[in-house]
Amino acid sequence: MKYIERFEEIAKEACHKQGVALYDIETIHAAKGLVIVLYITKIGGVTVGECRSVSRTISMVMEEDEFIDERYYLEVSSPGLERNLKLKKHYVSAIGEKIQITFLDENEDSVTKVGELTEVLQEHVVVAFLEEELPILFKNIKKAKTYFDYKKDK
């Protein structure tokens, strides 16, 4: 997957030109070929037009460079209301938001809870749950995403 670094350079430049930020890149090996999913974001949300413009810019450069040997498909999208938190910068951007987090507790049991992300530090995050505020080491986090309560937040 050496092409990912080159793709990321191209994506960052395309995002900068369109006034949006690169949030994440996912690659999926499907029957039809490689699917590259690029998530972009900006304050207030991204538009379909911005996704289209970023996609066109990247596609033009990729057609010229031809650095991916296999058949591929490019998808450009917003990360959505419930966006995955993978990198530290994702957590930082979610401070003050509700998150759903699955982590290993002190007994090495897997626990899934919803709380407010209050702080992001070097080795851990702090999440305020109804009953307590809890520091959770990054190494103990199995999965995390922002959480939207569809019933409550209508």
Boundaries of every domain in the chain: 3-77, 88-146
Mean of all residue pLDDT scores within the chain: 91
pLDDT confidence band for 118 (50 / 70 / 90): very high
Architecture of domain 88-146: Roll (2.30)
pLDDT confidence band for 153 (50 / 70 / 90): low
pLDDT confidence band for 1 (50 / 70 / 90): low
Separation of alpha carbons 65 and 143, rounded Å = 35
The whole-model pTM stands at: 0.78
Structural class in CATH, domain 3-77:
alpha beta
Q: What is the per-residue DSSP string for 46-90?
A: --HHHHHHHHHHHHHHHHHH----S-EEEEEE---SS-B--SHHH
pLDDT tens sequence across 120-129: 999 999 999 9
Q: What is the pLDDT of residue 68?
A: 81
pLDDT confidence band for 134 (50 / 70 / 90): very high
